[in-house]
Amino acid sequence: MQITIDNKKIKVGADWTILKAAQKAKIKIPTLCYHPDLKPSGRCGICVVEVNPSTGSGEPGKIMTSCNNLVREGMIVKTKSPKVLQQRKTNIQLVGCNFEKEEEFRKWLKLENLPDVKELRFKPKPSRKPDISSPAITIDFEKCILCGRCIQKCRDTQSVNAICFSERANAIKLDTSLGLDLDQTTCVQCGQCSVVCPTGAIKEHEHIDEVKAVLKDKTKHIVVQTAPSVRVAIGEEFGMPIGSLVTGKMVTALNKLGFDMVFDTNFGADLTIMEEANELLYRIKNKKPMPMFTSCCPAWVNFMEIFYPKYLKHLSSAKSPHQMFGAIVKSYYANKYKIKAEDIIVVSIMPCTAKKYEIQRDGMACDGCQDVDYVLTTRGLAKLLKEKNIDLKELKNSEFDMPLGLGSGGGAIFGTSGGVMESAIRTAHYVLTSKEIKNIEYKDVRNSSGIKKTTLKVAGQKLNLGIVHGLANARKLMEEIKSGKADYDFVEVMACPGGCIGGGGQPQPTTKEIVKKRASAIYQQDRKLKYRQAHNNPQIQQLYQEFLGKPLSKKSHHLLHTKYKKRSTCRR
Amino acid sequence: MGTEKKKLIIDYLHEIQNKYGFIPKSELKKLSLQVNKSPAELYETASSYAYFSFTKKPQKVIKICDSPVCHIKGSENLLKHIEKLIGIKVGEKNSKIGLETTQCLGLCDQAPVMEITHSTGSGQDGKFYTKLTKEKITKILKKQRLI
Amino acid sequence: MPNAYGLTTFHLMKILTKNKFQTWEKVKNLSSPKIIKQVIKSELTGKGGANFSTGRKWELSYPVKYLICNADESEPGTFKDRFILQNNPELLIEGINIAIKALKAEKTYIYLREEYKSLKPKFNKIIKKHSQYDIEVIIGAGAYICGEEMAQINSLEGYRAESRHKPPYPAQRGLFSEKTCVNNVETFARLPLIWQDDFDPKLMLFAVSGDVENPGIYEAVQGIRLADLLKEAQPVDPKAIFFGASGGCLPYDDNLVLTHENIRNKEAMLGAGGIIILNQKRSIVDICRSIIQFFVDENCGKCLPCREGNFRLLQLFQVYLKRKWTVEEFDLIQELIPFVTQGSQCALGQSSTLHLETAIKHFKKEFTDHVENNS
């Protein structure tokens, strides 16, 4: 099929939207509520174009949204006609009336690549108090422009349904389920809403002020750890290309902020694999109920506790990497370097909002000391750096501090969907056969489009593996398991699409395309690292020798494992 | 596969409102287990209809039509008259009585029109009063024991 | 419910008060294609406002899983469906029987607006006695938007009272993603008449209200002169005719020919035949205010241009109650008129400022009298 856009003739597919056709023709149409991973809704009306059915019809062009209208043979599209520009201008003026300050609105317009407007002619409408009940997510209703992206994510991508619209006509508003406080809904804190909100109406509890205050306290020993997903994404916040691996610069930046030690959560990930791979083999050997699910994703854990509490015994009892790491810092590290555990503050930089909830769970503390004290998201760290005028782009590289700064490739790949599984396979194979697996890069578990099933043959056994990301897919899988249709031995579940690299705390925008690029940076890093398996990490070996004994030992259980319980909401 | 006797969600919502006089949020939680939709989705649906209410409706609700035809026949003055008689303003309510404007009731040939709904044991029944005048309204409200 | 009065030669009433369900006795033995062919031949058109050939619509939809009778009549100034539902529901059910046979529909929903719910028990009685099909009456919940077919489908599916983008059309993927056909009450009611000798496809029901001596339902052929339609209704010193709230307005003209095409050529919409007559004393500006209020109350809230645009128009039309508009404010009103319709995703939004557009076009002085400096 052929259509004309701005006098350019282009070939299009029959099921293309006008917006897709324009994108392929490299013609920019401003959008607002449109998101490539979500169904177009036509709510905001910004993406309008003028359409004529064909030449010589003599009729005036029709204005329509381009995100959800399909192309037709011979269609003539104008993206910058006077009618279109006028429509968009009035539209933006009406969107803007919800912002508190005019400069904020103009800044936001620039961010969204929307044309500026000379004056805001419309007075703002009254709004309601912010919801700050949840430890991870805050909602400032005044900033909401009713684009609906957050609700689509929560409903369609995550099947959690903690937020919704309510009322109609002019009273329509973003609301929480049944109008309750967010922490009384089924919200699992995954933050997928916050990573698509164009105005920051829904965003994470930042905790930047708390971390700033703690950095000023000279009586404390302040340790920071960084998740594998942060180093492949934070560069985007400073204008670097998507998929830039900025580990060294990130460490320098954290040093500049004044942290006493800058450690690597990948070490914690290696530790998780040691415990979890051995736990899997233990469960298989002792014929425990299968499958076993990974437990490093706190939003997934919340999801299980709220929606599928009967299956909690299937969740691995291993804590998540940063939690294990915090527990080791406040025991092994504290002892070794003669620092009192109460004087150590652990800050985690995470791609995740749910971790802000996780750190205060019962059981995420040992001997009275919380494993991790604060969590900053990738966005949060970027904001803090910008406040301090630290331009990540310009920094030189530094190395992580030791002894807890060494991570293997198996730890690095935790950030992407399939990574935990692949790392577990590398170690489980060794434990079972005392030999390294031939294909270290077990590609069968990569590139899951949502739910992927594969089998692993090892030591005469056949293991059915599942790799799931996105909670709607997780729900699908759980329903399959419930109805007896599915037969898995080990399933990795990441709440966020693409895994942690697509996490709720990652830079905006985060789309499937962007996540793919971040993933390839993760796999590239794996290839470059000296040690590629968790069990070959010498610092991990040292930790077990000197302190833990062996995986699943009594000490390991005390520090590195946790319990779950049925709950109706995430409220404490 | 034939058509199952599927009960629609809007039916369930009517059932709940008929039973309790409004839709308690706890009932939406219960309903969500029955119909496999989350409480948020049911809440989103119910709140988009003018008829459903999440707070208890007063014993009697006066709904005066404010659509164009009733408007030109003087609905605004009649509304002010009612406000004076019952002592509450439009949009307000107490346990006994509520006053609302409503949109076209389909009785434009007998404008101006109002509906008085009252809560029975099994829902809200509405009675329509047409060709209203100030005197007629006073008479009706007296008869309904609202003034 | 109080009945309409002021009716005149009511064809629907006259013909079938005696012969209820006798046409069905004939038609039930015909094949679906034959029925559809007959309906096409009859030139019956849809009475919900679109005026599309009913037979052709059926031909394109056949066969369907769901049939929906749209009894959610909520357009201000329109009450013709109520008239049929109150006075001859048997005719409706008979028409539905015919439609079900023609379209091989497995299930039928009658979407009845909440305010008409007192009629439900009677319908169920008639259905039980005279129809062997699965027909269920569903009560609405006070949402004008649900009169639009996509919103009605959304409502039946348990979603918000909100419209949906087309395509897909109901005939492709409608209720519960199945093939669906939606028809208006009057359309169904006229079906049995097709098998009568004197069937006239041009007949439609007009609902006449406003400044007339005898408001009510009047049946006439499309193409009738306005003065002839209103002969018994007796307009009083008429100035303007509003076609419901969404059809816009025209200056009163005795010789106005009432066809969908003619009214469309004059940039208004005949729609479902709601005729509101305003006399010389009425303020056009004020009735526009009332219509804006209607759309502000009844829009679903999804699309920004409709939701915010109508709201801002209402604010401007409340201003005029206290003082004259500034020139900028009046310019803004005229700017918002096309703004609302362009970029709205459904027919409600797209027609919600037609009244204002036509009112300013035909009664400009009434508006400019309210503007400072009277430009």
Tell me: pLDDT of A566 over 90. Answer: yes
Q: What confidence category does residue C19 fall into, taking pLDDT thresholds of 50, 70 and 90?
A: low
Domain A2-92: CATH architecture, name and number where available: Roll (3.10)
Question: In angstroms, what separates the C-alpha of A163 from chain B's closest C-alpha?
Answer: 7
pLDDT category at C7 given cuts 50, 70, 90 is very low
Do B69 and B108 lie in a common domain?
Answer: yes
Kindly indicate the confidence band of residue A520, based on its pLDDT and cuts at 50, 70 and 90. Answer: very high
* Domain limits, chain A: 2-92, 137-205, 209-560
Q: Where are the beta strands (DSSP E) in C46-194?
A: 66-71, 107-112, 135-139, 180-184
Give which of A232, A251, A250, A252 is closest to A242, Cα–Cα. Answer: A232
| Nearest-by-Cβ selection for B38 from A161, A166, A167 | A161
Q: Which of the listed CATH numbers 3.10.310.10, 3.40.640.10, 3.30.70.20, 3.40.33.10 matches domain A137-205?
A: 3.30.70.20
Tell me how many residue pairs between chain A and chain B have CB atoms under 8 A apart.
Answer: 44
Residue A272 pLDDT level (bands cut at 50, 70, 90): very high
If asked whether residues B77 and B130 sit together in one domain, one would say yes
Question: Model confidence at B133, in pLDDT bands (50, 70, 90)?
Answer: very high
- Alpha-carbon dihedral sign for residues C81, C84, C86, C89: negative
Q: Touching check for C345 and chain A: CB below 8 Å?
A: yes
Question: Residue A111: pLDDT above 90?
Answer: no
C-beta atoms of A43 and C303 within 8 A: yes
A209-560 has CATH 3.40.50.1780 classification = yes
pLDDT at B31: 96
The chains in contact with chain A, meaning 3 or more Cβ pairs closer than 8 Å, are: B, C
User: Bridge partners of A456?
Assistant: A463
The CATH number that applies at residue B49 is 1.10.10.1590
> Are B67 and B93 within one domain?
yes
Mean pLDDT of C306-327: 93
Are residues B112 and B87 part of one domain? Answer: yes
Q: What class does CATH assign to C284-368?
A: mainly alpha
Interface test with C, best of B12, B67, B78 (most C CBs within 10 A): B67
pLDDT at A239: 95
Q: Report the run of H or E that residue A504 belongs to, with start and end.
A: none
Both tokens of residue A134?
């949840």
pLDDT for residue B2 is more than 50: no
How close is the nearest chain C Cα to the Cα of A48, in Å? Answer: 7
- Written as one string, the DSSP assignment of C202-249 is TEEEEEEEESBSS-EEEEEETT-BHHHHTTTT-BSSEEEEE-TTTS-E
Question: CB neighbours (10 Å) of residue B11?
Answer: 15
Which of B8, B64, B104, B116 would you mutate first to test chain C, the one with the most C CBs within 10 A? Answer: B104
pLDDT tens digits, one per residue of A248-258? 999 999 999 99
**B49 lies in the same domain as B101:** no
CATH architecture of C11-195: 3-Layer(aba) Sandwich (3.40)
Distance from the C165 Cα atom to the nearest Cα atom in chain A, whole angstroms? 8
Confidence of residue C8 (pLDDT cuts 50, 70, 90): very low
Tell whether B64 and B131 lie within a shared domain.
yes
pLDDT over 70 at C336, yes or no: yes
Examine the domain organization and report whether B50 and B66 are in the same domain.
no
Give the nearest partner residue to B69 out of C157, C161, C209, using CB atoms: C209
Coil, strand or helix at A108: helix
Query: Percent of chain C, pLDDT > 70?
Result: 94
pLDDT digits 0-9 by tens, A424-475: 999 999 999 999 998 889 898 998 999 999 999 988 889 999 999 999 999 9
At A396, the pLDDT band (50, 70, 90 cuts) reads very high
Instruction: Give the pLDDT confidence of C252-307 residue by residue, as tens digits.
Output: 999 999 999 999 999 999 999 999 999 999 999 999 999 999 999 999 999 999 99
- Which pLDDT band, with edges at 50, 70 and 90, does B1 fall under? very low
Return mean pLDDT, chain C.
Answer: 91
How many domains in chain B? 2
Q: Note the pLDDT of residue A403.
A: 83
- Contact yes or no for A163 and B40 at CB 8 A: yes
Show residues of chain B in contact with C107, CB under 8 Å.
3
Token pair 């369609």 is found at: A156
pLDDT at C14: 53
**Domain span at residue B36?**
1-56
**How far is the C-alpha of C71 from the C-alpha of C110, rounded, in Å?**
7
Residue C33: Cβ-neighbour burial (10 angstroms; 0-12, 13-18, 19+): exposed
Task: Return the residue matching tokens 């803007």.
Answer: A96
pTM of the model: 0.94
Q: How far is B51 from chain C (nearest CA, A)?
A: 5
Binding partners of C (≥3 Cβ pairs within 8 A): A, B
B86 and B116 belong to one structural domain: yes
Residues forming beta bridges with residue A458, ordered by sequence position: A461
Distances (CA, A) of C291 to A237, B107, C214, C294, C317: 49, 17, 23, 5, 11
* Per-residue pLDDT band at A55 (split at 50, 70, 90): low
Question: Which range among A185-194, A502-511, A562-571 shows the weakest confidence by mean pLDDT?
Answer: A562-571
Structure token digits, residue A560: 């590195």
**Bridge partners for A152 per DSSP:** none
Level-2 CATH architecture, domain C204-279? Roll (3.10)
Indicate if B23 and B92 belong to the same structural domain.
no
